[in-house]
Structure 1
Amino acid sequence: ETSGVCHFAYDDEETCLAEVRYLLSLLPQNNRENPPRVESSDPVDRRGEILFDLVPADGNRPYDMAKVIEEIVDDGEYLEVHERWARNIICAMARLDGQVVGIIANQPQVLAGVLDIEASEKAARFVQMCDAFNIPIVTFLDVPGFLPGVDQEHGGIIRHGAKLLYAYCNATVPRISLILRKAYGGAYIVMDSQSIGADLTYAWPTNEIAVMGAEGAANVIFRRQIAEAPDPEAMRQKMVKEYKAELMHPYYAAERGLVDDVIDPKSLAMLQSKHADLPSRKHGNPPQ
Structure 2
Amino acid sequence: MTEFSELLEDMRRRQQAIANGGGADKLAQRRAKGLMTARDRLDSLFDDATFQEMGGHVRHQARAFGMETRELPADGVVVGTGYVDGRMVSAFAQDFTVLGGTLGKMHAKKIVTLMEEAAKFGSPVVAFKDSAGARIQEGVDALSGYGCVFYQNVLLSGVVPQIAVVCGPCAGGASYSPALMDFIIMTRANAYMFITGPEVIKAVTGRTVALNDVGGADMHAAVSGNVHFLAQDDSDAVRIVRKLLSYLPQNNSEEPPHRPSPDISLAEDDGVRALIPDDPQSPMDVRRIIERIVDPGEFLEVHRSFAENIIVGFGRIEGMVVGLVANEPTVRAGALDMDAADKAARFIRFCNCFNIPVVTLVDVPGFLPGVEQERGGIIRHGAKMLFAYASCTTPKVTVILRKAYGGSYLAMCSREMGADFVFAWPTAEIAVMGADGAVAVLYAKDIKAAEDPKAKAKELAAAYRAEFASPYLAASHGYITDVIDPARTRSTIALALRKALSKRELRPPKKHGNIPL
TM-score, length-normalised on structure 2?
0.53
Farther off after superposition, 84-93 or 250-259? 250-259
Higher Cα Rg: structure 1 or 2? 2
CA shift for structure 1 position 197: 1.5
CA shift for structure 1 position 219: 0.5
CA shift for structure 1 position 231: 4.1
2:356 corresponds to: 135
Q: CA RMSD in A?
A: 2.0
1:283 to 481, 485, 506: 506
Q: Kindly indicate whether residue 245 of structure 2 is the aligned counterpart of residue 24 of structure 1.
A: yes
Once residues 210 and 58 of structure 1 are traced to their aligned partners in structure 2, the CA distance between those partners, rounded to angstroms, is: 18
CA shift for structure 1 position 230: 4.4
1:8 corresponds to: 229
Once residues 288 and 458 of structure 2 are traced to their aligned partners in structure 1, the CA distance between those partners, rounded to angstroms, is: 33
1:33 corresponds to: 254
Once residues 277 and 247 of structure 1 are traced to their aligned partners in structure 2, the CA distance between those partners, rounded to angstroms, is: 31
**Conserved 8 A contact 1:229-1:235:** yes
Q: Kindly indicate whether residue 286 of structure 2 is the aligned counterpart of residue 65 of structure 1.
A: yes
Matches within 5 A, 1:246-257: 246-257=467-478
Q: Structure 1 230/68 Cα, relative in aligned 2: closer, same or farther at 3 Å?
A: closer
1:145 to 363, 366, 370: 366
**Conserved 8 A contact 1:201-1:260:** yes
CA shift for structure 1 position 49: 1.6
Amino acid at match of 2:366: G
**Conserved 8 A contact 2:395-2:500:** no
1:165 to 380, 383, 386: 386
1:232 to 435, 453, 459: 453
2:33 corresponds to: none
Note the alpha carbon deviations across 1:108-164, whole angstroms, 9 max, x for none. 111111100000000000000000000010000000000000000100001100001
Q: Kindly indicate whether residue 484 of structure 2 is the aligned counterpart of residue 263 of structure 1.
A: yes
CA shift for structure 1 position 233: 3.3
CA shift for structure 1 position 258: 2.0
- Counterpart of 1:123 in 2: which secondary structure? helix
**Conserved 8 A contact 2:401-2:425:** yes
1:94 to 295, 299, 315: 315
Once residues 411 and 495 of structure 2 are traced to their aligned partners in structure 1, the CA distance between those partners, rounded to angstroms, is: 28
Q: Structure 1 123/284 Cα, relative in aligned 2: closer, same or farther at 3 Å?
A: closer
| Percent identical | 49
Once residues 503 and 416 of structure 2 are traced to their aligned partners in structure 1, the CA distance between those partners, rounded to angstroms, is: 22
Count of residues in Structure 1 that have an aligned counterpart in Structure 2: 286
Once residues 361 and 445 of structure 2 are traced to their aligned partners in structure 1, the CA distance between those partners, rounded to angstroms, is: 37
Once residues 44 and 70 of structure 1 are traced to their aligned partners in structure 2, the CA distance between those partners, rounded to angstroms, is: 16
Question: Structure 2 stretches of 5 or more lacking a match?
Answer: 1-221, 510-517
Amino acid at match of 1:283: L
Once residues 362 and 487 of structure 2 are traced to their aligned partners in structure 1, the CA distance between those partners, rounded to angstroms, is: 17
Amino acid at match of 1:240: A
Note the alpha carbon deviations across 1:165-195, whole angstroms, 9 max, x for none. 0000011111110000000111111110112
**Conserved 8 A contact 2:471-2:480:** no
Question: Structure 1 stretches of 5 or more lacking a match?
Answer: none
**Conserved 8 A contact 2:345-2:385:** yes
Q: Structure 1 110/140 Cα, relative in aligned 2: closer, same or farther at 3 Å?
A: same
- Counterpart of 1:238 in 2: which secondary structure? helix
**Conserved 8 A contact 2:231-2:237:** yes
Once residues 82 and 67 of structure 1 are traced to their aligned partners in structure 2, the CA distance between those partners, rounded to angstroms, is: 18
Once residues 104 and 186 of structure 1 are traced to their aligned partners in structure 2, the CA distance between those partners, rounded to angstroms, is: 17
CA shift for structure 1 position 206: 0.8
CA shift for structure 1 position 99: 1.2
**Conserved 8 A contact 1:88-1:111:** yes
CA shift for structure 1 position 12: 2.6
Once residues 233 and 119 of structure 1 are traced to their aligned partners in structure 2, the CA distance between those partners, rounded to angstroms, is: 34
Once residues 279 and 126 of structure 1 are traced to their aligned partners in structure 2, the CA distance between those partners, rounded to angstroms, is: 22
CA shift for structure 1 position 237: 2.7
